[in-house]
Amino acid sequence: MPRRVMPMKPKVEYLSILDGKGQLDKALEPKIDADRLLVLYRLMLSARRLDERCINMQRQGRIGTYGPCRGQEAAHCASALVMGPDDWVVHAFREPGSMIHRGWPMERILQFWGGYEEGCSPPPGVKDLPIAVPIASQFPHAMGIAWAMKLRGDKHAVLCFGGDGATSEGDFHESMNFAGVYGLPVIFMIQNNQWAISIPREKQTASETLAQKALAYGFDGMQVDGNDALAVYAATQEAVDKAKKDGGPSLIEAVTYRLSVHTTADDPTKYRKQEEVEKWEKLDPIPRFQKYLLDKKVLNAKLVEEIEADILKQVAEAVTRFEAGREVDPLDCFDYMYAEPAAELLEQREEFKAALQREGVGKGH
């Protein structure tokens, strides 16, 4: 026949397990033991409390511009939880919960937003890439790490974060294409938070879903309720299992919402309505997950209070450590540029050193 609908092997599915009203689909409920559920709860709450503290600190001038994750805690924490220590996580910039889980001390996150390169240095043994500011340019790195894993025959996987805006960038498509061609163990985790600064999701692409973009590259896409920690966890686990069995890449679109500003330099009242925000406030992933844990008796009122107090203490301690580490040597901007710095660079270092001495600039912020 000359004209017919083409059958497509890759598919797009939608997954919701714990819905906005707190209704649980028992048949789909992932089996996660109580300790792990509590880890996830703590992680989501840590991300929320650190986020709130960062906004305050920006307002007080104690850190620079900050990009919050409020509303996206399920999407990034539940997916990161699936990744093992030999798997890699490649970050965008709205995933503090993932970084905390992976072993980044909270003060490193403060350091990044506070203007210190130290905030980009993963602690020893942490197989993560740091915050990436340019949109989508981290996808090729995730793809490349997965490529190297495959070439080496290592059965690990890579989780890479990006946003709805990032799916318009070439780097996203090029990486998806390579991942499909070589069957790489990488999970493209798209946090569709509906807004790329002022551009709404429907103006970002004419595609009905972001998940379907995987079809063009020959693999499956899944759209999940990104405010449903269980759905995000289950979808990521499935994608990771597939990747480790040499089943190739996956795209997960976590449908969520940026409840806060794009960054502290942004005023969202210019481009979106308060009613929309209020609608999504009701779908906040944290109360939903908390209620699930209370119903399950994994949590109780006393434990909720204890965890809350403990997290606030951890955040406060991280802030103290961050503030205590403010004194750095400006001269060390030369010291990590090259493994083997050239003579001309060392000469400039001496020039800078002399200038700092003349100007009486020591360590300090």
Question: Which residues of the shown chain bind another protein in the complex (CB under 8 A)?
Answer: 88, 117-118, 120-122, 129-130, 134, 137, 139-149, 151-152, 170-171, 174-175, 177-178, 181, 333, 336-340, 342-345
Q: Of how many residues is the chain composed? A: 365
DSSP code of 87?
A: S
Q: Of residues 262, 272, 336, 358, which has the active-site annotation?
A: 262
Q: Give the residue carrying structure tokens 């403990």.
A: 310
d(C-alpha 90, C-alpha 241), whole Å:
18
59 is catalytic: no
- What whole-number distance in Å separates Cα of residue 193 and Cα of residue 267? 16
Paired tokens of 217: 């590259």
Which C-beta is closer to another protein: that of 1 or that of 339? 339
Q: Is-catalytic flag, 358? A: no
182 near 211, Cβ under 8 Å?
no
Instruction: Choose between 52 and 174: whose C-beta lies nearer to another protein.
Output: 174
Residue 103 vs 144, nearer CB to another protein: 144
Strands, E, within the chain: which ranges? 12-15, 88-90, 128-129, 158-163, 186-192, 195-196, 199-200, 221-225, 250-255
Catalytic residue among 59, 271, 336, 365: 271
Taking the complex as a whole, the smallest distance from the CB of residue 208 to another protein amounts, in Å, to 26
Nearest to 336 by CA among 180, 121, 43, 137: 121
Instruction: Reply yes or no on whether 4 is catalytic.
Output: no
Q: Residues with Cβ < 8 Å from 119, sequence gap 6 or more?
A: 108, 109, 110, 111, 112, 113, 130, 131
Q: How far is the CB of 184 from another protein (least distance, A)?
A: 9
CB of 287 to another protein, least distance (A): 37
Least Cα distance to 210 among 169, 254, 180, 177 occurs for 254
For 14, the enclosing helix (H) or strand (E) is strand 12-15
Q: Nearer Cβ to another protein, position 271 or 336?
A: 336
How near is the Cβ of 340 to another protein at its closest, in Å? 7
Q: Which two tokens stand for residue 141?
A: 């790195």
Work out how close the CB of 323 gets to another protein at its nearest, in angstroms, rounded to a whole number. Answer: 20
3-state secondary structure of 191: strand
- CB of 190: closest distance to another protein in angstroms? 18
Pick the catalytic residue from 102, 258, 288, 292: 258
Cβ nearer to another protein, comparing 301 with 339: 339
- Residue 81 token pair: 């939880």
Nearer to another protein, 141 or 272 (CB): 141
Of the candidates 182, 169, 170, 164, the residue with the CA atom closest to the CA atom of residue 218: 182
List residues with catalytic annotation.
258, 262, 271
